Amino acid sequence: MEIKVLDSTYDNQTHAYRVGDEPMVFHCHHYNLFLQNTIEDASDFVDSSKVLTQAAEHVVYHQWKNLTASTPLSLDDLLATFSTFGFGKLNIQTLDVKGGIITSNYDHYGLGYISKYEPRNENQPSVCYFTRGFIAALFAYYFQKPLHSYQVTQLECFSKGSNRNVFEVRLLEIPQKPIADFYHGKGVLGKIPEFGNRNDTAIDYLGIREALTSMKLEGSTETGLIDAFGVLLTRHYANYYCNITFATLKGLIDTLGEEQGYALSKDLFIEAGHVCGFNTFGGIMLSMEWNALIKPMIQTREDWMHGIIGCINALGWGTYIIEELVPNQFLKVRLYNDYESNHYLMMPNKPVKKPISFLATGVMAALMNLLYHSDITQNPTLDEAFYNKTFKTPGKFIGKQTQCRSLGDEYGLIEVTRE
Amino acid sequence: MSWMNKTLSIFGWKKRKETPHKEALASQQTFKTVGDLKQWVKNELPPLAWQRICLRLTKFVIEHYNFSLNSAPDGTKLPNSLLQKINEVVKEIFNKQLPYGN
């Protein structure tokens, strides 16, 4: 069985892709690595290595279990999951129930890291936590062991100057206890709003969704990587992002107290959203696909915003609807069934009763900044200087979440104003 | 283009760094307080760099210096030993160096 994630799995009601009940969302290497770096930074507060690896193992393992109630997946199927979703390619060197050696010449996190940052030194950790978790899930699933039965150690890493990744897998005598409460599944869904084309824009929302969800955004046969819109994309596990984000939020709140822990987490996770908005959506707005598909519809600057929100609704993030857009001043966007809230509502013990759609908040601010502050329409290069112009100069836009489903609201609401 | 740059460009030369005195000043800069350091971080590093530095060092600072970096008032004095530690973190995360030598 080949896992074809694009085959009729897009749910146009909730704007989600689900494979084995796991919602899958597109994100780029800039976001993935910035978020991971932030969580590494918090390692005084939470065991970040275990959070990042165990969360990966948890979601991948449960996805496979849900996919295959009757017929187990083959080893090739398991490996194809990794490649199809854009994480790279894994090569099995040795494998038995006691462990094995896995190598990789292409890895999203490893190659993404060296494309962005200076190499790490020997004393620093390797960066392919997600891959380690994936491999642990693969062994546990294949040999029918409980979760966290295998220890996966990264012996070589692209981030340290190696030209490949090498992982050693070892069966533990007793499975490890999970470091945090991890969750999987489609989450708690809420109201489904009316979604369609609008009278206040020439942008064809339904057409964009149809076109983008029909695009073959899968890892290439050779590398297992998705090279699109000027970034390395992944079709990633929404619950992975939420598990690692909320475990870190909890760690910070437990140590620093609710006010400080939440404030610090919120700022950093919203910044991750800025990074995502700038690189992924900036990349999309400069892409050939944008020029071919969306630019011909654009009549006003505001249509750029409608066009890019149209794209978001094809990424599996939930339903995003512009409630109000005042040119150059203000944006208000509704979030229905956003993946952060869907996940948070599953958690019986919530770390905090405050808005938690951090990614969405950061991305909405990034879009206003790109459009009205630093001007993406002038075809800039998305480099550090342009990033600083977009987010570090006076008068920039900032986002604030004023409603959240996790607080009992029907939908999330993000408001973006100039500072 | 200024007259000097025009003149230099005729010969294919590049103007020397525009404000070498600034670099010299920076190398002698001393960070006496949290506020000085925050200002430098704000000017020189990416957005939210201060928060990332705090994340890395909050526990260390509480244990060794008995105050909290992320909630310290701007006037809080910074010991040299702490500056060295902060420099290590800045180097590791941002590949930059604090101009804290004095």
Residues A47-171: name the CATH superfamily: Trafficking protein particle complex subunit 3 (3.30.1380.20)
Pairing between β-strand A231-237 and β-strand A22-28 as defined by DSSP bridges: antiparallel
B47, B52, B95: residue with CB nearest A118:
B95
Q: Which of A30, A35, A44, A398 to mutate to test the interface with B (most CBs of B within 10 A)?
A: A44
- List Cα–Cα distances, A368 to A89, A132, A372, A392, B33, in angstroms: 37, 37, 6, 14, 35
Q: What are phi and psi of A70, to 5 degrees?
A: -105, -55
Q: Each residue of B29-81: pLDDT tens digit?
A: 567 889 999 999 998 998 889 989 988 998 888 888 878 787 788 999 888 88
Q: Which residues pair with A308 in a beta bridge?
A: none
From A28, A51, A29, select the one nearest A39 (Cα to Cα).
Answer: A51
A264, A387, A388: residue with CB nearest B51:
A264
Q: Which residue spans within A81-149 are E strands per DSSP?
A: 88-96, 99-107
Domain boundaries, chain B: 29-102
Q: Please state, in angstroms and rounded to a whole number, the distance separating the CA atoms of residues A329 and A419.
A: 10
Please tell me the distance in Å from B47's CA to the nearest CA on chain A. 6
Q: State whether B47 and A384 contact (CB < 8 Å).
A: no
Q: Please state, in angstroms and rounded to a whole number, the distance separating the CA atoms of residues A82 and A393.
A: 40
Whether chain B has a CB inside 8 Å of the CB on A391: the answer is yes
Q: How many CB atoms lie within 10 A of CB A312?
A: 27
pLDDT of residue A216: 85
Q: State whether B48 and A264 contact (CB < 8 Å).
A: no
With CA atoms as reference, the chain A residue closest to B68 would be A256
A37, A117, A274: residue with CB nearest B47:
A274
Burial of A269 (0-12, 13-18, 19+ CB in 10 A): buried
Q: How far apart are the first and last CA of chain A?
A: 52
Q: Please state, in angstroms and rounded to a whole number, the distance separating the CA atoms of residues A285 and A377.
A: 8
Helix/strand/coil percentages in chain A, nearest 5:
45, 20, 35
A9 band by pLDDT with thresholds 50, 70 and 90: confident
A37, A118, A268: residue with CB nearest B51:
A268
Same fold, A47-171 and A205-225+243-418: yes
B98 band by pLDDT with thresholds 50, 70 and 90: confident
Please tell me the distance in Å from B8's CA to the nearest CA on chain A. 26
Burial of A199 (0-12, 13-18, 19+ CB in 10 A): exposed
Q: Across all residues in chain A, what is the average pLDDT?
A: 95
Q: Please state, in angstroms and rounded to a whole number, the distance separating the CA atoms of residues B57 and B74.
A: 17
Is pLDDT of B102 > 90?
no
pLDDT of residue A265: 93
Please tell me the distance in Å from B59's CA to the nearest CA on chain A. 7
DSSP three-state, residue A382 = coil
Look at the block and give the residue holding tokens 């009992």. A408
Please tell me the distance in Å from A351's CA to the nearest CA on chain B. 18
B47, B59, B70: residue with CB nearest A264:
B70
Cβ contacts of A46 on chain B, cutoff 8 Å:
none
Domain boundaries, chain A: 47-171, 205-225+243-418
Whether chain B has a CB inside 8 Å of the CB on A179: the answer is no
Q: Each residue of A33-70: pLDDT tens digit?
A: 999 999 999 999 999 999 999 999 999 999 999 887 66
Whether chain B has a CB inside 8 Å of the CB on A37: the answer is yes
Q: Please state, in angstroms and rounded to a whole number, the distance separating the CA atoms of residues A216 and A383.
A: 27
From A411, A417, A380, select the one nearest A15 (Cα to Cα).
Answer: A411
Question: DSSP per residue over A144-186, as a string?
Answer: T--TT-EEEEEEE-GGGT-SSEEEEEEE-SSPPPPSS----SS
Interaxial angle between packed helices A29-41 and A258-276, expressed in degrees from 0 to 180 and rounded to the nearest 10: 160
Q: Which CATH class is domain A205-225+243-418?
A: alpha beta
Q: State whether A268 and B52 contact (CB < 8 Å).
A: yes
A382 band by pLDDT with thresholds 50, 70 and 90: very high
DSSP three-state, residue A43 = coil
